[in-house]
Amino acid sequence: MRLLLIGLFLVAGVAFAGEPKTCVFCEIAAGRAEAAIVYRDERVVAFMDIAPHNPGHVLVVPVQHAADILTVPADTAKELMVVAQKIARAIRRAGLPAEGFNFRMNAGVAAGQTVFHTHLHVVPRHAGDAGGQSHVGERVPVRELEPIAARIRAQLE
């Protein structure tokens, strides 16, 4: 029975001592995990989504960990949107298909949040790409996302 409980804790991503598993977005923000970075300042980092809905799908996250938007300081929440706007404009200037955008953020399990570090999706949309419907894209290696990130970075104001 004890082995079963230990196994359940490990499967759930919780160390036996009760410590939560590492936050992947905190690791990216700290530069300890690989990501195709598009933008970085003292409060916000933006990087390519590894399972993009469309080419140019970027996540904008606060550098400081916050589980959801309800716990983000107001100035950082504002910065998330300001950076998302800059990135959307840069995506268009970079020549990626972007007739429109979805700016999406989920807060809490009931809302569909699966990574518990605040993140704002910037998803380029174009006619015929699922009509703005949300779906999970195929995983793409970071090395394949870097050229798109470079195109977007080059167009930032």
Question: What does the pLDDT look like over 127-151, one tens digit per residue?
Answer: 888 655 555 678 999 999 999 999 9
Q: Which two tokens stand for residue 9?
A: 């804790």
Q: Would 63 be classed as within a structural domain?
A: yes
- 109 pLDDT more than 50: yes
Collapsed DSSP state (helix, strand, coil) of residue 154: helix
Q: Would 146 be classed as within a structural domain?
A: yes
Q: Would 12 be classed as within a structural domain?
A: no
Q: Would 72 be classed as within a structural domain?
A: yes
Per-residue confidence band for 86, with pLDDT thresholds at 50, 70 and 90:
very high
Q: Would 8 be classed as within a structural domain?
A: no
Q: How large is the greatest C-alpha to C-alpha distance in the chain, in angstroms?
A: 59
Q: What is the pLDDT of residue 3?
A: 36
Structural domain including 118 reads: 22-154
Q: Which two tokens stand for residue 78?
A: 């504002």
Q: Looking at the 3D structure of the chain, how many domains does it have? A: 1
* pTM over 0.85, yes/no: no
Q: Would 14 be classed as within a structural domain?
A: no
What's the mean pLDDT in 34-61? 96
Instruction: Kindly provide the b/e burial profile for residues 53-67, where b requires at least 16 CB atoms within 10 angstroms of the residue's own CB.
Output: bbbbbbbbbbbbebe
Rounded distance between C-alpha atoms, residue 39 and residue 116, angstroms:
21
Share of the chain above pLDDT 90, in %: 76
> What CATH number is given to the structural domain containing 103?
3.30.428.10
Collapsed DSSP state (helix, strand, coil) of residue 7: helix
Q: Would 38 be classed as within a structural domain?
A: yes
Q: Which two tokens stand for residue 153?
A: 């970075």
- The residues annotated with a catalytic role in the active site are 119
Rounded distance between C-alpha atoms, residue 98 and residue 56, angstroms:
9
